[in-house]
Amino acid sequence: MQSTYFHTEIKNGIEYLIIENEVATCRISLFGGHVLSFIPKRDNRDRLWVSPLAFLNGERPIRGGVPVCWPWFSDDHGQEKGELPAHGFLRTQHWAVKQTDSTETLSKVVLIPGTTKGKGFEFDASVELIVEVGESLTMTLVTENTGDVPFSFNCALHTYFDVENIKDVELKGLYGEYKDKLSDWEILNTPTAYIIEGEVDRIHLEAIPSVVIERDQSDYIAIESSQHDSLVVWNPWQGAATMSDMDAFSYKQMVCVETAITQGKQLLPGEKCAMRQKVS
């Protein structure tokens, strides 16, 4: 694909879609339907983080950017851990470009996975990832029940945000209760001053509409979410050293704030859910 605003390239067996207009650039791996980079030209600073040790050969999910988790989140698939792939099976599929459209300041692409059926989910469904690149990055994950029976699913836009130093970061706008994976899923209250000082793996159980990541005193990332039921906050801290696709100190440059459905969303035949995350 070659046009004014869109072009593709292939590297190490992965096809990438590059979007560039007058206000921003964006890079998407069609392996996984995976947004890897969003750089507004007003400051030329990437909002997203990709691990320098990420596998970029199509053999494993990519660490960083915005992995698409569907039709379950983490290992919440009703079977023993390891029986099915964590976060579902869409992030290891090749996605196709269904539609593109662009003006000078807003470019849109619609991506679709090769299949939405796999072990653990045999229902009739369609999925689209709509990516809009302008002054902000908007990603909409649309799930439709195309069958004759209801089904339930979970999903997430598992976004890794780029920060210079995690010790300078404060999250603002989170509230309510969260489930703490590190404390055997104990239900705890959101801290008033939300800073990251160690490993964090939390599912905030509110449809919080907006969160701000203060990267330092003069810089921030704004996140707006809709049609979700949770926000997930994750940083592996020194646990990064045990991961083959992260180096021991890369936890200092990233934090995940994930727009998610983790409490189960039921769709009746013909119904749709359009979960959206906007990053500015």
Residue 88 has which token pair? 């579902």
Cβ 65 vs Cβ 48: under 8 Å: yes
Quick one: CA torsion of 162, 9, 132, 172, rounded to 10 degrees? -10
Using CA atoms, how far apart are residues 223 and 171, in angstroms rounded to an integer?
Answer: 11
Which residue among 20, 132, 144, 258 is the active-site one? 258
Q: Which residues of 75-92 are buried (b: 16+ CB within 10 A; e: fewer)?
A: eebeeeeeebbebbbbbb
Catalytic site residue 15?
no
Catalytic site residue 135?
no
Nearest residue to 275 (alpha-carbon basis) of 154, 122, 165, 173: 154
Counted residue by residue, the chain has a size of 280
69 strand-pairing partners: 156
Query: If you search the block for the tokens 């869109």, which residue do you land on?
Result: 6
Which residue among 34, 77, 158, 204 is the active-site one? 158
Active site residue ranges? 158, 258
